[in-house]
């Protein structure tokens, strides 16, 4: 095979999120988050796991930055814990909280690593959930104020900002399926949450433009290419609806300034569609510098009248699955990137997450030989490269994850890291995929 060489200045990174790695859930003045509350309720997370300690990154960040340096990464995607910085979500700030992120981001800079900072990776201050969380429109304003404070305090160190991580997950896993915090199960609430999340995104982009910050700002969406399971019109329509639900419901307002009409019509027949104004849409459509895409899997969709509200369901294709049960489909990444490029005006893209869960073990030599993960990354990198060759403006790639961590409702049972974490001792071991990734970065290809 010929050599794969990515464009010059391509950024290679790894990603994490505050609640999944930090621990120190109630230290140094941090407020309670909805994930603290949710994980402390028995039955919500497998084995009763919580993020109370997680990877203890709050205390071990210096050691972790050394590891990042050792891996040779260009950029590290982390998220800020809003209740660590503003314990009640609004009002009084917590110096010890913001100081932690100052120390972390400045240390990354000293080590030549660009911090890419997500403002919201799901750990809403519980105090704001008490007034309705994201279903309360005021929370969009509080988010903007929190973001402005972060721009002011961290703007010197941070060159890339991401407003939200996966608003689809926040809306629908958190407020429709109820499998994520805050555990609400109401479709109309989920739709309202999605709108307020997008509004808070737009408000924050505007605030960023009005600040003195240099650098870029964008949003991260979890996107899934959805194919029709057959040639029948009903299945094709079902696949289009699923695409509307997962992808276009977020892409279109952010990048085109409108909600997809087919979905507004469909939802209006099933639930309460949030009221919104033209001004809301203009705010949501504030120009971004890039789109972050998290890619894990694809879907094959057929009509299923019993599935409310979409009347669509996923069918298995027999492809190999990861430990999460997600089908592995690397060419889906290529299809997705080309489609976004074509439908959304050649927007600059970062892959902000991609990776797999595997049942990793430490072998008798003390190594973790995760060939399945290496293979997964290898195949997805090739598709990203092919997309670049087809003129997609792909500027960087963040592997999920830097290290094993708290995988939300799945707890610690699912390992996604290119670094292994022994939760008993907090020892970190770079896995085979991590050593391989280091070489990929060094050569800007393979």
CB of 32 to ligand FCB, least distance (A): 20
The structure tokens listed for 275 are: 């009221």
Q: Determine which one of 32, 153, 353, 383 is catalytic.
A: 353
Least distance in angstroms from the C-beta of 296 to ligand FCB: 7
Helix (H) or strand (E) holding 282: helix 278-284
Residue 216 or 407: the one with the smaller Cβ distance to ligand FCB is: 407
Q: At what angle do helices 432-443 and 371-389 cross, to 10 degrees?
A: 30
166 as an active site residue: the answer is yes
By CB under 6 A, the residues from 222 to 241 that bind ligand FCB are 222
- The dihedrals phi and psi of 87, each to the nearest 5 degrees, come to -55, -40
Range list of H helices, 155-217: 167-168, 174-175, 187-210
Q: Which of residues 152-181 bind ligand FCB (CB under 6 A)?
A: 165-166, 169
- Among residues 6, 10, 14, 17, the one that binds ligand FCB under rule CB under 6 A: 17
CA 91 – CA 413 distance, rounded (Å): 37
User: % helix / strand / coil in the chain, to the nearest 5?
Assistant: 45, 15, 40
Q: What separation in angstroms does the CA of 275 have from each of 206, 249, 278, 280? A: 22, 15, 10, 10
- Residue 439 annotated as catalytic: no
Shortest CB 416 distance to ligand FCB, Å? 5
Tell me the two tokens of residue 272.
């309460």
- Residue with Cβ nearer ligand FCB (101 or 416): 416
Q: Considering the complex, state which of residue 125 and residue 167 has its C-beta at the smaller distance from ligand FCB.
A: 167
Q: How far apart are the first and last CA of the chain?
A: 10
- Dmax over CA atoms of the chain, in Å, equals 62
The position carrying tokens 């997370």 is: 45
- Min dist CB 44 to ligand FCB, Å, is 15
Do residues 360 and 431 touch, judged by C-beta distance below 8 A?
yes
Among the listed residues 334, 402, 408, 412, the single contact to ligand FCB using CB under 6 A? 408
**Shortest separation between residue 215's beta carbon and ligand FCB, angstroms:** 22
Nearer to ligand FCB, 108 or 399 (CB): 399
Kindly write out the interface string for residues 277-316 of this chain, putting x where it contacts ligand FCB by CB under 6 A and - elsewhere.
-----------------x----------------------
The DSSP letter of residue 30 is: P
The whole-angstrom distance between residue 300's C-alpha and the CA centroid of its chain comes to 22
The catalytic position among 22, 32, 166, 303 is: 166
Binders of ligand FCB among residues 35 to 74 (CB under 6 A) are none
Contact call for residue 81 and ligand FCB (CB under 6 A) = no
Instruction: List residues with catalytic annotation.
Output: 166, 353
Which residues make up the interface to ligand FCB (CB under 6 A)? Answer: 17, 20, 165-166, 169, 222, 294, 353, 400, 407-408, 416
């Amino acid at each position: 095979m010929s050599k794969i060489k990515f464009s010059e200045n391509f950024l290679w990174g790894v990603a994490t999120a505050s609640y999944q790695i930090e621990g120190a859930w109630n230290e140094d003045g941090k407020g309670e988050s909805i994930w603290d509350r949710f994980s402390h309720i028995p039955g919500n997370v497998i084995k009763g796991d919580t993020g109370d300690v997680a990877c203890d990154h709050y205390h071990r960040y210096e050691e972790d930055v050394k590891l990042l340096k050792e891996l040779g990464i260009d950029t590290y995607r982390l998220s800020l814990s809003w209740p660590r910085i503003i314990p009640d979500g609004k009002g009084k700030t917590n110096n010890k909280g913001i100081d932690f992120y100052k120390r972390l981001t400045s240390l990354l800079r000293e080590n030549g690593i660009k911090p890419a900072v997500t403002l919201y990776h799901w750990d809403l201050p519980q105090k704001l959930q008490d007034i309705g969380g994201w279903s309360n429109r005021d929370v969009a304003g509080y988010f903007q104020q929190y973001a402005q404070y972060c721009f002011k305090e961290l703007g010197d160190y941070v060159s890339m900002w991401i407003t939200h991580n996966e608003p689809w997950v926040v809306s629908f896993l958190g407020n429709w399926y109820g499998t994520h915090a805050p555990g609400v199960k109401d479709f109309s609430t989920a739709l309202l949450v999605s709108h307020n999340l997008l509004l808070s995104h737009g408000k924050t982009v505007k605030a960023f433009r009005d600040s003195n910050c240099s650098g870029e700002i964008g949003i991260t969406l979890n996107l899934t290419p959805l194919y029709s399971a057959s040639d029948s019109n009903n299945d094709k329509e079902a696949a289009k609806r699923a695409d509307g639900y997962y992808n276009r419901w977020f892409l279109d307002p952010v990048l085109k300034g409108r909600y997809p009409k087919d979905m507004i019509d469909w939802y209006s027949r099933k639930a309460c569609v949030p009221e919104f104004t033209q001004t809301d849409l203009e705010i949501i459509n504030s120009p971004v510098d890039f789109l972050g895409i998290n890619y894990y899997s694809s879907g094959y969709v057929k009509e299923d009248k019993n599935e409310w509200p979409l009347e669509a369901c996923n069918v298995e294709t027999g492809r190999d699955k990861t430990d999460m049960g997600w089908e592995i489909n690397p060419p889906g990444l290529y299809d997705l990137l080309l489609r976004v490029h074509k439908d959304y005006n050649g927007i600059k893209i970062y892959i902000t997450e991609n990776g797999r869960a595997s049942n990793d073990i430490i072998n008798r030599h003390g190594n973790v030989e995760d060939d399945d993960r290496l293979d997964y990354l290898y195949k997805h990198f090739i598709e990203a490269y092919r997309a670049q060759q087809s003129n997609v403006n792909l500027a960087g790639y963040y592997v999920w994850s830097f290290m094993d961590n708290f995988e939300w409702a799945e707890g610690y049972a699912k390992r996604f890291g290119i670094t292994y974490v022994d939760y008993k001792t907090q020892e970190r071991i770079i896995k085979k995929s991590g050593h391989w990734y280091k070489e990929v970065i060094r050569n800007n290809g393979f």
